[in-house]
Structure 1
Amino acid sequence: MAAATTTQLRAEAEGRELVAPCQLNVRWLGASPELADPKCQPAQLYGSLEELVPWYRRLPGRRLVVLGPAGSGKSSLATLLALGLLDDAALNDPLPLVLPLGAWNPRVDLRTWMTQRLRDDYPALRNIELYGSYAADLLIEQRRVLPILDAFDEVPANLRISALQGIDRAMPPATPVVLTSRRRAYTSTVAKTGPLRNAHVVELEPVGEETLAEVLRGSSSRFGASRWEPLLMQLRHDPNGPLAAALGSPLMVWLTRTKYADVATNPTELLDPNRFPDRATIEEFLLDELVPTLFPAEDNEYLPLTSDHWPPEQAKVWLEFLAARMQQRELPWWELRRLVHRYWLTVLNAVSLGLLTALSVGMMVALVNKLTVLDVASWTGASAGCLVSVGTLINATSKGRNASASMRFGAARSMLVVSLVAGTAVGLVFGAMFGADPGLISGLSVAIATALRFSLGSPVELSRPPSPEATMARDRALVGLVCLVFGVGVGSAAALLFGAGRTGMVWLGFSSGALLGFVLAVMSRNWWWFTVARAWLALRGRVPYRLLEFLEDAHKLGVLRQVGARYQFRHARIQDHLAKDSAHKT
């Protein structure tokens, strides 16, 4: 897990230009004494970003709160702190994980939520044969994870008191923890509950003039670096002006570098007092220009290579829709269905699965009746399809559960019981129709196919970095695997019953088994729900059909960031700005 997390964090830090040569070396200093536990304030509490990791290692208790205004670099600091701790980790050091608090409901115990995040982001932990039934739970309970809780301010305001109290309960005073927050949100909460126990508190400073000059000049070739000089002169001349206030934020520095990366652009337009009379106007302009800059009408050599050239107008519409509809500041691909009205999603799913069930059952009835009673096959298939449709509707209207929830029954026993039940059921049906021998053959085939599905269905690698693409590929592969094993099982039974020379019957058996396996598999896999929701949203122009490719390209370009197997907007201000534009259009 440490290797996988390190790989992902390093790729994220490099993609977001958080490391040299583009790194902004933001400084930090001790916050107001009333925000910290009085016994935890050391005499010296200031330094640079480069000094944070060694300083944190020396910190008694390793409990830290990092404060700063919007866009000050708190999430970037969380990423770099986790990466720095991993790069220099001792054998028994806990695994630092960045966890976005905006996705946490404080009504749920923090440790329970952290455990579920581990299961979702590291599916191999659900491999009970290799890691046991409670691998993720034990990692949390035995303090093998160092939680870096990012963005306390994204917890709803009416739940922040409960949230801070919940963190204190879940993380006793001797347990290492890191918390980041906007200053105002943390200050108002601490005034009512008291500070996080035994935690030191630091605050990020605005970007300094020298650091800003170094980064802006370094963002261009030596032929284009001179473009920044009028801007830098204005900053020196008026260090308290609107431009200096705007560019004191690392987020705005990145937006400025992105907007004026092309040497043909002219950053001195920001000096026009008529267009940009105050800080808010400058920031709104830079936010407005982000998507048109990163998704240009023509190829731009200054941008990272992407999988496709996305239409700029459509890209903006898609991002605005996602920004407005995303829940809890992140978009796990397996929750895309939440963006579709429940009624339409349920109907689409029920109709499609009902039709597939009707086809597969009808084919199987035709198979066992040797194609002599097609009317019976048709009626039986239609009835089965209707039953599945009704069952799907009932299931969708009840409270669902996470399909990836960990099983508590031993893997070997689960495989044995399910295989025996499935094999016995099929064997009894075929035995009643064709006699004891065909029933035994059919039952064994299905039992073996089911056991094979269990044995091959669990991931084993914890060293692979978590990503949306990897988790979806695994989910999709499991559906294909179930289709294959059921197809082979029923096809083999058909070959044994009717003879291998009856290729038509064998192929009919394989096809009907594969279809039935598909229906059974997708009922419990998130990939199917994602596929249905994506198709519906794409038909309505809300998202592209190749949604994951688009999200990965937006991630490469810097609009999104990746946290575990989920995508988030790079910053809450970017998401809020796009969501506001979407609301205005609506």
Structure 2
Amino acid sequence: MDRMNEGPVDPAGVTAALVGIEVYADGAEYSELPGPARDALRFAEWLRACGVPAENITLLLSPTPDFAEEAVTRAAALGIPVTPASADLVRKTFIELDRTRELLFTYWGGHGVIAPSTMSRHLLLAESIERDPQSMLFDDLRRHLLCEDEEHLGLTRQIFIVDTCGWYLKRREREPVPRRFPQGDLSDKEIDQYFLFASRDGQGAINDAGLGTTEFARQVLGYLHSDLRVLPPDVEELTRRVDRYFSDPARATDVTQTPVSIRHRSYAGSERDLGSARLRERRVLPVAPAHLHDALGRLHQRSTRHVGRFALSKSGIGAHAGLHAINVGYETLDVSAGVPKRAVYATVRHFYDAIPNGRLVVRGAAGSGKTVLAVHLATELLESRAKDEPVPVLLTLVNWRTPPPESRPDGSQAGYDRLVRHFEGWLADQLLKQKLCDDAETARALVDGRWILPVLDGLDEVRIPQEANADGPFGYLVAAIDRYLTAGSGRPAPVVVTVRSTGDDDTRPGPSSACVVEMQRLSVPEIVGALTDGVPGYPTDGHWEDLRADLRLGEASTAARRLDSPWKLVLAVKAVTGPDPQIPVTELVHALVRTGDGADEALHERLLAAFVPAACTDAVVAEPRPPDAPTAVRWLAELARHLGRHASEDLTLSRMWVIAGERRVRAVQAVAHVGIVLFFCVACLLAAVGGPGHALTTAGHLTDGTADLSGATGRRLWAAAAFTAVVTAAAAATGIAHRTWVPVVNRRTRGLRERFEGPKRSRLLLSILSGLEIGGAIGSAFGLGTYLLFGPVAGLVVGGVIGVVLGYGMEAKVGLDRTLSGNFSPAYYWKWDGLGLLAGAATGTLVFWLVDYPPWSGTAFGGAVGFFAAFAIGLISWLRYVIAMTMMKRRDLLPWKVAAFLDWGHRAGVLRVHGVSWQFRHAELQHWLAAQERPPRSRRPSSGRWLRLLERVVPKVE
């Protein structure tokens, strides 16, 4: 039941608390605010005109000196004494409210802030100073007025007019200290609370010091005076009246203010945000169907880890925390999505919740914080996701595949349907590649049902062929996203896209139904705060005086323009901090304030060149470390060029071998395969002629021509020759093949010795099984070959020693991982090894019976060969990686332990993690590195002789 509309209240049953604070104890931090005390008096005059007794009205004022005397005179004319708006008296007023009355009317005018840590609105008290900001916590007051009062039912209707700003505290500001109210059990009585705030979260309220009032108070009082006799006023009509005024496009100014009304009915917490008429309420959607519950739960968990790894690394600021915490502002560019133009919200989650259907495009200059904002939004959405909401999934658009000709739109609806299916297929494929889903069917069901919220990073990085550009600046991708948003199961399809600014405000950089926001430049105070936090001694060191003086010029500052984004600040701070600064302070300061043609470009080039060397000397970064800065730059430049050649942003271990040259590596691997196989096949040929264990005698007979090759021996020799031909051809084919026929990647390699999740006992069991598989396969192969050559004793000794040493060494020490992803699963490989053993045993039994060998020996021989063959197929990608890394190490292109180097880059802030891959954290740094000239190739004559011999069989392929 809505008690606010039950009917009029006897004016004698009204109690009012009117607070107007214009002067604060700290005049520098909280400046005088002419208007609130004057407006409080105007509300008192309206209440008296409505017949409310003077003794029912408490007037708490902290007026400016020029208004103090007038305030007392005007209040006396109303019969109301002026009470100082001190913290104690304000608190006492609300605690001692007369609960026998029915209606509470409250007005509060003054300064207000929102603490981002709790998202709570604080009303600043007159005693507030910078080092001790005193406040009234609004939610604390509201809840106090909902608590039980055993003696009285009263104050069942409560109206709050809150005329304060809703600015968020800046990063370096202290959070207010609230004066708390006593709390008890919430009343089970029907209590109707109505709040009308002057501004939304993150916005200011327009105060006119000259007229001594605010825009908000003028509109509220204007409505109240239009019907003097109504108590309580029609709050629904009041909301509409105020909303119409502030949402009217005709009055658009540079300052946006969006009043907010909230209703709380009873302690059960019923609440609705009326807000601006332009902001439609988000629909409550049904929960996912039962068959998708588990899949959504797994997707939520994996996406949380995926987003966390993407964001988790240093920002490149050395030992000084702070720069990564800069809360870069943004503002809306259009009203087409229902959000007022130039609306400002400091927390992206609150802003996103106000966007119809959750479609957002974030644009800005390079390094302005677009990706950070998107990742922060995804993190907050994951932390508070309800069952009826889609799961945010972070994807990079550089991996977008241009649709084939048959999937490109031809102007018909069927053509656009094909384009949507292509985009949906790409999304499902990304869910699988990032191991966010276990199977293609589940991934497709989540995409089709719009149960994912794609957070698509880097629309400007998409590489689209020229012939695909006919549909706009971003080709078919933008058209695909647009159609994806309107097609599907009927659920709203949310999306978040980041894109670099084009410099043309009229160009929509994304879906037409999305709200577009622009990242803002850092203000001078934010730059000064970041330098103070990030550079020891900045406020007092004389070397920084020229920069401090330049920044004091405000918007006219040359340095402020050169440090107006988080990336620029990171570059500058990184260059002069740490144990070995790359640029002297005096040189940086001179470059920041110097004017002239080319000064900006020269400074930026100098800072980019200093970034990686500074990361190499960062004392915070743990081992492993690159040997020196020039080497780290050279290795990173090679990786950047590799990405440029392959139109990708992902550095994935399973594909990194192509840097050494695809044909060269495959040819070397084929030669290595054939060499190993021929050794074993020679043993088979000798054993076929002279029997196992007589290799030296048989070789002598073959040399002098006395060997008997007739009858059963001849058949055995032909069988061994056929076996040699087949196995040698298979070895060459698997070595030279483009694909490796094994799972590519399940997750990123990190800590190969800690590959298994779960309890320690479970990990130990898996490690033992892995060691048995590795040792058993390699030991049986070498043992069998030695047995064929030198007999059973030598075979047992060699097979046992090699099996134990390699089984333990490759598993516990090297961490053999045949898919180079940290996902070695003994169960998976034991399955294929078992199938290989059975197939080999069956084949061996039959062949040995045909050539007059005991069938059981064929079973043992074939089983051992099949077991090792299945194991070796899984080893192909690992061996290819080792060959490539060895070749690149010899040519000084990359380190042999490249995974360790990539992990160093992640911790140093140069790289970030995206699913199973690494990516450059800053696109500009990546492009700068790729543009560096490759140094002359260095040769090391004493190393890799066997590899150089193998490389000669293939022409050079760079």
**Is the 8 Å Cα contact of residues 350 and 390 (structure 1) preserved in structure 2?**
yes
Q: In the aligned structure 2, how far is the partner of 1:285 from the partner of 1:581? A: 14
Residue 100 of structure 1, CA deviation: 1.1
Residue 539 of structure 1 is matched in structure 2 by 890
More strand by share: 2
Q: 2:629 aligns with which of 312, 325, 330?
A: 312
**Is the 8 Å Cα contact of residues 9 and 83 (structure 1) preserved in structure 2?**
yes
Residue 339 of structure 2 is matched in structure 1 by 42
Residue 15 of structure 1 is matched in structure 2 by 313
- Which amino acid is 2:358 matched to? R
**Is the 8 Å Cα contact of residues 320 and 581 (structure 1) preserved in structure 2?**
yes
Q: In the aligned structure 2, how far is the partner of 1:245 from the partner of 1:195? A: 28
Q: Does residue 184 in structure 1 map to residue 502 in structure 2?
A: yes
Aligned residue runs from structure 1 range 188-337, under 5 A: 190=508, 196-220=511-535, 226-227=540-541, 230-237=546-553, 239-262=555-578, 265=581, 266-273=584-591, 277=596, 278-296=599-617, 300-301=618-619, 303-326=620-643, 327=646, 328-337=648-657
Aligned residue runs from structure 1 range 107-186, under 5 A: 107=403, 109-122=422-435, 125-126=438-439, 134-156=441-463, 158=466, 159=469, 160-172=474-486, 174-184=492-502
- Which amino acid is 2:559 matched to? L
Residue 327 of structure 2 is matched in structure 1 by 25
**Is the 8 Å Cα contact of residues 52 and 81 (structure 1) preserved in structure 2?**
yes
Identity among equivalent pairs (%): 22
**Is the 8 Å Cα contact of residues 153 and 185 (structure 1) preserved in structure 2?**
no
Residue 776 of structure 2 is matched in structure 1 by none
**Is the 8 Å Cα contact of residues 355 and 385 (structure 1) preserved in structure 2?**
no
> Tell me, what secondary structure is at the counterpart of 2:486?
coil
Residue 57 of structure 2 is matched in structure 1 by none
- Which amino acid is 1:181 matched to? V
Residue 658 of structure 2 is matched in structure 1 by 338
Residue 514 of structure 1, CA deviation: 4.6
**Is the 8 Å Cα contact of residues 362 and 380 (structure 1) preserved in structure 2?**
no
Q: In the aligned structure 2, how far is the partner of 1:140 from the partner of 1:289? A: 44
Answer 1 or 2: higher relative contact order, Cα 8 Å, separation at least 6: 1
**Is the 8 Å Cα contact of residues 523 and 564 (structure 2) preserved in structure 1?**
yes
**Is the 8 Å Cα contact of residues 94 and 146 (structure 1) preserved in structure 2?**
yes
Q: In the aligned structure 2, how far is the partner of 1:79 from the partner of 1:8? A: 11
Residue 317 of structure 1, CA deviation: 1.1
Q: Please, what is the CA RMSD of the aligned residues?
A: 4.1
Residue 218 of structure 1, CA deviation: 1.5
- Which amino acid is 1:289 matched to? A
Residue 550 of structure 1 is matched in structure 2 by 901
Q: In the aligned structure 2, how far is the partner of 1:486 from the partner of 1:225? A: 71
Aligned length: 495
More helix by share: 1
Deviation track 1:164-185 (CA, whole Å, cap 9, x = no partner) reads: 1122223327410111111218
Q: In the aligned structure 1, how far is the partner of 2:724 from the partner of 2:526? A: 70
Residue 225 of structure 1, CA deviation: 5.8
Q: In the aligned structure 1, how far is the partner of 2:310 from the partner of 2:337? A: 32
Q: 1:579 aligns with which of 930, 938, 942?
A: 930
TM-score (norm 2): 0.46
**Structure of larger gyration radius:** 2
Q: In the aligned structure 2, how far is the partner of 1:389 from the partner of 1:264? A: 52
- Which amino acid is 1:312 matched to? A
The answer for unaligned runs of 5 or more in structure 2 is 1-298, 405-421, 699-716, 747-816, 849-856, 938-958
* C-alpha spacing 1:314/1:385, structure 2 compared with 1 (3 Å): farther
> Tell me, what secondary structure is at the counterpart of 1:140?
helix
**Is the 8 Å Cα contact of residues 362 and 381 (structure 1) preserved in structure 2?**
no
Residue 521 of structure 1 is matched in structure 2 by 874
Residue 259 of structure 1, CA deviation: 1.9
> Tell me, what secondary structure is at the counterpart of 1:71?
coil
Residue 366 of structure 1, CA deviation: 8.1
Deviation track 1:310-365 (CA, whole Å, cap 9, x = no partner) reads: 33222111111111111322222222133232321321232233344445666778
Q: In the aligned structure 2, how far is the partner of 1:401 from the partner of 1:514? A: 17
- Which amino acid is 1:555 matched to? H
Residue 391 of structure 1, CA deviation: 2.9
- Which amino acid is 1:579 matched to? A
Q: In the aligned structure 2, how far is the partner of 1:518 from the partner of 1:67? A: 50
Deviation track 1:120-142 (CA, whole Å, cap 9, x = no partner) reads: 2117614xxxxxx5122222222
**Is the 8 Å Cα contact of residues 319 and 578 (structure 1) preserved in structure 2?**
yes
> Tell me, what secondary structure is at the counterpart of 1:180?
strand
Q: In the aligned structure 2, how far is the partner of 1:276 from the partner of 1:366? A: 83
Residue 146 of structure 1, CA deviation: 0.8
Residue 101 of structure 1, CA deviation: 1.0
The answer for unaligned runs of 5 or more in structure 1 is 127-132, 407-467, 498-503
Q: In the aligned structure 2, how far is the partner of 1:289 from the partner of 1:256? A: 9
Residue 104 of structure 1 is matched in structure 2 by 400
- Which amino acid is 1:272 matched to? H
**Is the 8 Å Cα contact of residues 821 and 916 (structure 2) preserved in structure 1?**
no
TM-score (norm 1): 0.73
Q: 2:822 aligns with which of 449, 470, 473?
A: 473
* C-alpha spacing 1:368/1:552, structure 2 compared with 1 (3 Å): farther
> Tell me, what secondary structure is at the counterpart of 1:40?
coil
Q: 1:4 aligns with which of 288, 302, 313?
A: 302
